[in-house]
Amino acid sequence: AQKITQTQPGMFVQEKEAVTLDCTYDTSDPSYGLFWYKQPSSGEMIFLIYQGSYDQQNATEGRYSLNFQKARKSANLVISASQLGDSAMYFCAMREVTAGGSYIPTFGRGTSLIVHP
Amino acid sequence: DTAVSQTPKYLVTQMGNDKSIKCEQNLGHDTMYWYKQDSKKFLKIMFSYNNKELIINETVPNRFSPKSPDKAHLNLHINSLELGDSAVYFCASSQVDRPKNIQYFGAGTRLSVL
């Protein structure tokens, strides 16, 4: 079973509009972390935002916010006021702790976002 | 100053050759990782080293051997390259005892096996 599910292979949004990228996760670890990364066409992986499983408030970083619904195991990324430069692949990722105490990162398959002028 | 740097950025080689990819981080992190990203953009962890010790070793052919001479470096050596090894390989690093344990990635190495 997939630990991170991104159900939207591709999304389109008009410039200046907001867009939500979906992410659901599966874990039995009570202490986990959720991340979003952006991969533009140039190929680098850019960290955007982090949400800890014990964080009471939804994370925000500038135009990025994370809609964290723990009971539903979802961690959707909201990008407000989309810009042309937001066109990229977006990856949701989770960090769990193994029985041995090491951290295992898992990535979703990504969502391709295209921002239209 | 690049935080996580990988060399080379591009690597084109023939089947059967042996090649290495180098990675260095100047963030003072204690953990480094190698990922493989396939043509469908799926990113899968291959190895992780914490303070020069192997802590994650996913199901990867034993033709792939990571080497960590110190905690700032994690190199990936690949023997007897096959067509299916063509992919983008990413190095990353993090500090595991920080609450967020954010991984920072290198720019990637695009490997093409002909």
Which tens digits make up the pLDDT trace of A76-98? 999 999 999 999 999 999 998 76
Chain B residue whose CA is closest to A47: B104
Chain A residue whose CA is closest to B96: A103
Q: Are A93 and A107 in contact (CB under 8 A)?
A: yes
Q: Which of A38, A45, A46, A113 to mutate to test the interface with B (most CBs of B within 10 A)?
A: A45
Q: Which of B41, B53, B110 to mutate to test the interface with A (most CBs of A within 10 A)?
A: B41
Q: What is the pLDDT of residue A1?
A: 59
- Interchain contact, B102 vs A103, CB within 8 Å: no
> Which tokens sit at A41?
């066409």
- A-B interface: how many C-beta pairs under 8 angstroms? 56
Measured CA to CA, the distance from residue A24 to residue A111 in angstroms comes to 13
Please tell me if residue A18 touches chain B, with a CB cutoff of 8 Å. Answer: no
Q: Can you give the three-state secondary structure of chain A, one letter per residue?
A: CCCEECCCCEEEEECCCCEEECCEECCCCCCCEEEEEEECCCCCCEEEEEEECCCCCCCEECCEEEEEECCCCEEEEEECCCCHHHCEEEEEEEEEECCCCCEEEEECCCEEEEEEC
pLDDT at residue B58 is higher than 70:
yes
Taking residues B10-14, report their average pLDDT: 97
